[in-house]
């Protein structure tokens, strides 16, 4: 994405998160981590969890009985985003609608189940119908099948910046004329194996083990959920725009301050959102970079911990929460960095 490219508008939002299953912006609220009860834990273990719900009660006609929760949530979030955008798919060339999905772990629930059945019953005792649902691109496929979308279908896995990469990829498809509409979806589910891996790696916040409020510290509280955006080229139709994507960069190394300043063209963003994937904003390297870029001329916000807990796929939820709680017009910078000097930056304009 370059600053000279036509803008891409965010016209629809949908999400399944600890805030619930929602179309449009997420009403400001305080979300607290919940005690894990889905599996046995050695003492209190907390996370930001999605409350159980029936997908068909949100999206009539949705059948998810054999699906991983990740696929079910992707179907719900994408449907809500399309609804929020006011798009009548019967009036759209569905071969020109793209689906771009970002995930870190994929359909980990059914993957765990499949391999556990192999351990218990041997490979000949596994359920062959389960195996296709273990693939990381299954959610994107289900979204395309349910809505009969026949455009580009892409699944992105990128350490630290899967969500940001999916946004950049989606905008690129639109700018290069490979699609007229893009549905970008990002998220993950939380399972026992994932939680225990975080725990063994020493990545978790003390707040995971304490029922009382704990000051921000090293580590994070795991989360789960899926967020979806509908992107369209600016001016494609008369409709509301939550924000316009002006430019974006992703790099495996380099100098984020210099690169982002070039994107900004000498201006200072009104609002900088630290995506802080898997780390509290105050203790992550992105905060220092954000302060160097914005100086004293812009606001830097620490987003909700529930978004940071999504590790590599939280960018879309970070963005939705920022749009929900900060209504000021002007430039918005979505910024993330990681310890190996890689970074992602997306410049948006809020009307």
Question: What confidence tens digit (pLDDT) does each residue in 283-327 have?
Answer: 567 777 888 887 776 788 776 788 888 878 989 999 999 999 888
CA dihedral 93, 95, 96, 99 (to 10 degrees): 120
Q: Distance between CA atoms of 63 and 75, rounded to whole angstroms?
A: 10
182 and 291: one domain? no
Phi, psi at 247, each rounded to 5° = -160, 165
Domain contains 160? yes
Compute CA 241 distance to the chain's CA centroid, rounded to the nearest angstrom. 19
Domain contains 346? yes
Which of 167, 198, 233 is the last residue in one of the domains?
Answer: 233
* Parent domain of 105: 8-233
Which of 182, 202, 233 is the last residue in one of the domains?
Answer: 233
Domain contains 2? no
21 and 119: one domain? yes
Q: How many domains does the chain have?
A: 2
Provide DSSP, 184-206: EEEEE---HHHHHHHHHTT-B-G
**Which parts of the chain sit beneath pLDDT 50?**
1-4
257 and 114: one domain? no
227 and 248: one domain? no
Question: What confidence tens digit (pLDDT) does each residue in 220-277 have?
Answer: 899 999 999 999 999 888 899 999 999 988 887 777 888 888 888 878 888 888 886 6
pTM over 0.85: yes
19 and 111: one domain? yes
Which of 233, 252, 268 is the last residue in one of the domains?
Answer: 233
Q: Distance between CA atoms of 242 and 155, rounded to whole angstroms?
A: 24
């Amino acid at each position: 994405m370059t600053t000279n490219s036509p803008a891409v508008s965010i016209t629809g939002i949908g999400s399944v998160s600890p805030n619930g299953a929602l179309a449009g912006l997420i009403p400001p609220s305080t979300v607290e981590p919940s005690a894990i009860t889905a599996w046995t834990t050695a003492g209190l273990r907390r996370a930001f969890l999605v409350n159980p719900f029936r997908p068909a009660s949100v999206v009539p006609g949705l059948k998810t009985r054999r699906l991983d929760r990740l696929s079910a949530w992707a179907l719900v979030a994408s449907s809500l985003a399309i609804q929020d955008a006011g798009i009548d798919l019967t009036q759209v060339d569905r071969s020109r609608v793209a689906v771009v999905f970002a995930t870190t772990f994929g359909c980990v629930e059914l993957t765990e189940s499949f391999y556990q059945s192999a351990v218990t019953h041997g490979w000949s005792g596994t359920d062959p119908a389960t195996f296709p649902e273990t693939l990381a691109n299954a959610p994107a496929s289900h979204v395309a099948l349910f809505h009969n979308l026949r455009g580009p279908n892409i699944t992105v896995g990128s350490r630290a910046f899967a969500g940001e990469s999916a946004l950049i990829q989606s905008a690129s498809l639109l700018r290069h004329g490979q699609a007229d509409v893009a549905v970008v979806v990002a998220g993950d589910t939380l399972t026992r194996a994932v939680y225990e891996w975080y725990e063994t790696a020493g990545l978790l916040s003390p707040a995971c083990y304490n029922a009382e409020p704990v000051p921000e510290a090293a580590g994070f509280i795991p989360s789960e959920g899926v967020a979806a955006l509908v992107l369209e080229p600016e001016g494609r139709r008369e409709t509301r725009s939550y924000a316009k994507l002006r430019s974006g960069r992703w790099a495996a190394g380099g100098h984020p301050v210099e690169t982002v300043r070039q994107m900004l063209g000498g201006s200072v963003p009104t609002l900088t959102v630290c995506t802080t994937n898997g780390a509290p904003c105050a203790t992550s390297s992105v905060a220092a970079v954000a302060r160097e870029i914005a100086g004293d001329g812009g606001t830097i916000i620490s987003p909700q911990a529930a978004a940071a807990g999504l590790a590599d796929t939280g960018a879309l939820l970070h963005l939705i929460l920022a749009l929900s709680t900060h209504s000021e017009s002007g430039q918005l910078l979505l910024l993330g960095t990681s310890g190996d000097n890689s970074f992602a930056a997306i410049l948006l304009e809020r009307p």
